[in-house]
Chains A and B, each alone.
Chain A
Amino acid sequence: MGETPMSRMGETPMSRTGETPVSRWIRWSKFMANEEAILKDLTGRFAFLEGKGRVARARRIFVEVPAEKWAEVFDYAVTQAGFTILCTITGLDLGESFGAIYHLSKVEGEVLNLQVNIPKAKPELQTIIGYFPAAELYERELVDLLGVQILGLPPGHRYPLPDDFPQGLYPLRKDFKAEMLDAPSPERQAK
């Protein structure tokens, strides 16, 4: 059988109940809705992505994009490659740098995870609310919890931290300790 999508998933073919030829065809076509082709399309168009991407399993593609080229790749993925659903944005503290993973999905179910790393010294990202208005809250999470600057984000309520949360403390950073909240901050002393 060789490298079938099924064996790639670590799944063993077994007798399935309640399956019609049509539903079997739909299921198989889904497995074969080739993630490799999507990845090849991306690397073909953007040579710098060579070796940066991998297919984790059926419908799961992870790609690491250099920060300076990120806007280009993102625009292509959303407007031309058909990844029209934004699942969420995950912020990461990678020690030397911050990471942001944009989880994009096709209507058919393939998920493209575009990771971009930005230096801690200059943690700036462009906003994507032009593509996805719903991204506003995800981006505010990056701002509040990791201290990433989002360029182009309109002013608004902070989310998700309370308004009187101490400045300069970012809970999802690895060096954050809950005890830091007890340290007297200028704001609290003013109270």
Chain B
Amino acid sequence: MHWSSILWALFQILIFPGLLFLVALALAAEFVDRKLYARLQNRLGPPWFQPLADLIKLLAKQEVVPDLADKFMFVVTPMFALTAAVTASFYIPIWSHQALCSFPGDVIVVLYLLTIPTITFFLGGWYSRSVYSMIGAARSIMQLFAYEIPLFLAILAPALLAGTWSLSGMSLFYAHRPLLSLLNLLGLAIALVALLGKLERVPFDAPEAETEIVAGSFTEYSGRLLALFRLAIDVEMVVGASLLAAVFLPFGMDFGPVAGFGLYLAKILAVISMLSLMRTLFARLRLDQMINFCWQIAAPLAFVQLMADLVAKGTIARGVMIP
């Protein structure tokens, strides 16, 4: 391999559209989320640079590792969280139909990479050995089992219809059959709700419920490690929004890079606004209520989505409906 191609790959991974770009986007997303949340609550909200300032402040702070904690796991988990979230973004098509990396089956990989941050929340909290952290950790993992099924079903259903397990392939399929993506609106709603659970936000923020268990898994975290965790959650929000945009809103990717990129920003802005809106509207659900909701309402609805896509696939195959 030529050295320039290695440099180019490094540039893509570290700067654009990799780590640096993603971090900038994540901080911007956090700002949008906080500002919108504040305005909806009749507050002023932070200035645009607040998320960056928070990040710098945390990076400069001393980090304290509790005596009882497992030092290795305590330090390693935040890095894993950030790495997994960033890696997942490489497989998501952003402004063209081609993602940075792509192979058949990458949709499964992305879903699993997005699960890793939650696992690290669990491990980090568990190995902190503090009561609040351990309760938060247990709640994280219980919540994971609740929202993961609806999320997987909601995202795999469109993939079934498209007949490909690659995100780039899916986006190509739906871009040429825009009407078919209307079929997946229910899936979009379910995925949005599940994403709230993944990001541990109101109404599904029981794992870090401030008034009950201080900060859940993150109670003992401070300084750089906390900064990494927070950044990981922000990146996860952007990647989650991008995933939803790529799967459910695959329009306008043929207009060239600039227009495509603008549209991409508009799409994730819309998703993030929806997330903020839901955060404003609801009270925090108790864990048992959250699990009941996911299993009794979200999962059956996701099955309905799956059936709808299977039926549509059958009709297309028989030539009844040609999109």
A/B: CB atoms within 8 Å of each other: no
